[in-house]
């Protein structure tokens, strides 16, 4: 699991001064601590973006051009760590996976096979709908309806994860994340089809 590997790797990483908190930027900290916010599903994305841009400026490698090689390397590592933290927390799927990882829950949804037959049938139906859109007369109308349906379900799954995670029902939260992963991929595929229709 990449999350488990990252958490282990960063535990041994060095420190560098972080103006957003009272102490240094500790690479063994969780991603929430990087931005001085509490570990939680609820994240103010706009506020997170402000904090991210401030840290980006603070640890931009150009600011360390005249520093020692060691300080330059630390700045590059810090910038990479900050980017990874922001990329993880701004994404609902990655944030959910990360929260589970912090609780010691392996969340390898790639190999997870759900026993939810209703969800399995829903997967098949949605993929069939997507594959048939390009040959239908009103392609745009159909793809817009599909996107609205998929996004609605995706938001419902996020609410489901939030409830289960906060209730410490981590097995159920894991299942919700597995479903979120499917819908995340499906939204990417819908976007790709939209791009193809625009170019046609």
Q: Which pLDDT tens digit goes with each residue over 5-32?
A: 433 433 334 444 454 544 455 566 789 9
Say how far apart CA 76 and CA 78 lie, in whole Å.
Answer: 5
130 and 84 belong to one structural domain? no
The residue ranking higher by pLDDT, 74 or 22, is 74
77 and 142 belong to one structural domain? no
Q: Which domain holds residue 27?
A: 2-90
58 and 127 belong to one structural domain? no
Q: Output the pLDDT for position 3.
A: 37
Do residues 104 and 174 lie in contact, with contact meaning Cβ atoms separated by under 8 Å? Answer: no
- For 7-15, the CB contacts below 8 A with 24+ separation are 7/101, 7/102, 10/81, 13/77, 13/81, 14/74, 14/77
Say how far apart CA 18 and CA 78 lie, in whole Å.
Answer: 10
- For 79-88, the CB contacts below 8 A with 24+ separation are 81/10, 81/13, 81/25, 81/27, 81/34, 82/25, 82/34, 82/52, 82/55, 82/56, 83/56, 84/6, 84/31, 85/31, 85/34, 85/35, 86/35, 86/48, 86/49, 86/52, 88/31
Confidence of residue 116 (pLDDT cuts 50, 70, 90): confident
Q: Output the pLDDT for position 52.
A: 94
The residue ranking higher by pLDDT, 3 or 94, is 94
Q: Output the pLDDT for position 144.
A: 94
Domain CATH code at residue 128 = 1.20.1280.20
70 and 142 belong to one structural domain? no
pTM: 0.81
155 and 80 belong to one structural domain? no
Other Cβ atoms closer than 10 A to 72 = 14
68 and 128 belong to one structural domain? no
- Average pLDDT of 149-177? 96
Q: Output the pLDDT for position 58.
A: 86
Confidence of residue 109 (pLDDT cuts 50, 70, 90): low
65 and 27 belong to one structural domain? yes
Q: Output the pLDDT for position 25.
A: 57
81 and 34 belong to one structural domain? yes
As a whole number of Å, the CA-based R_g of the chain is 20
Evaluate whether residue 58 is within a structural domain.
Answer: yes
H/E element, 27: none
Evaluate whether residue 105 is within a structural domain.
Answer: no
Mean pLDDT (the chain, rounded): 84
The residue ranking higher by pLDDT, 139 or 87, is 87
6 and 71 belong to one structural domain? yes
Evaluate whether residue 100 is within a structural domain.
Answer: no
Evaluate whether residue 167 is within a structural domain.
Answer: yes
- Average pLDDT of 54-79? 85
Evaluate whether residue 174 is within a structural domain.
Answer: yes
Please check the confidence at residue 135 and state whether its pLDDT lies above 90.
no
7 and 81 belong to one structural domain? yes
The number of helix segments (H) and strand segments (E) in the chain equals 8, 2
The total domain count for the chain is 2
Say how far apart CA 78 and CA 167 lie, in whole Å.
Answer: 34
Domain boundary among 37, 71, 90: 90
The residue ranking higher by pLDDT, 194 or 24, is 194
């Amino acid at each position: 699991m990449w999350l488990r590997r990252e958490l282990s790797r960063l535990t041994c990483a060095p420190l560098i001064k972080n103006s957003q908190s009272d102490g240094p930027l500790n690479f063994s900290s969780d991603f929430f601590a990087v931005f001085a916010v509490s570990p939680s599903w609820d994240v103010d994305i706009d506020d997170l973006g402000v904090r991210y841009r401030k840290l980006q400026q603070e640890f931009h490698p150009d600011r360390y051009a005249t520093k020692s090689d060691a300080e330059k390397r630390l700045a590059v590592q810090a910038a990479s760590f900050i980017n990874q933290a922001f990329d993880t927390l701004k994404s609902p799927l990655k944030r959910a996976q990360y929260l589970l990882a912090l609780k010691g829950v392996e969340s390898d949804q790639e190999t997870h096979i759900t026993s939810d037959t209703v969800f399995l049938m829903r997967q098949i139906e949605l993929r069939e709908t997507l594959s048939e859109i390009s040959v239908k007369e009103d392609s745009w109308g159909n793809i817009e309806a599909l996107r609205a349906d998929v996004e609605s379900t995706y938001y419902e799954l996020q609410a489901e994860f939030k409830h289960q995670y906060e209730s410490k029902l981590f097995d159920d939260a894991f299942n919700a994340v597995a479903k979120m992963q499917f819908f995340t991929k499906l939204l990417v595929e819908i976007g790709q089809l939209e791009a193809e229709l625009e170019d046609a």
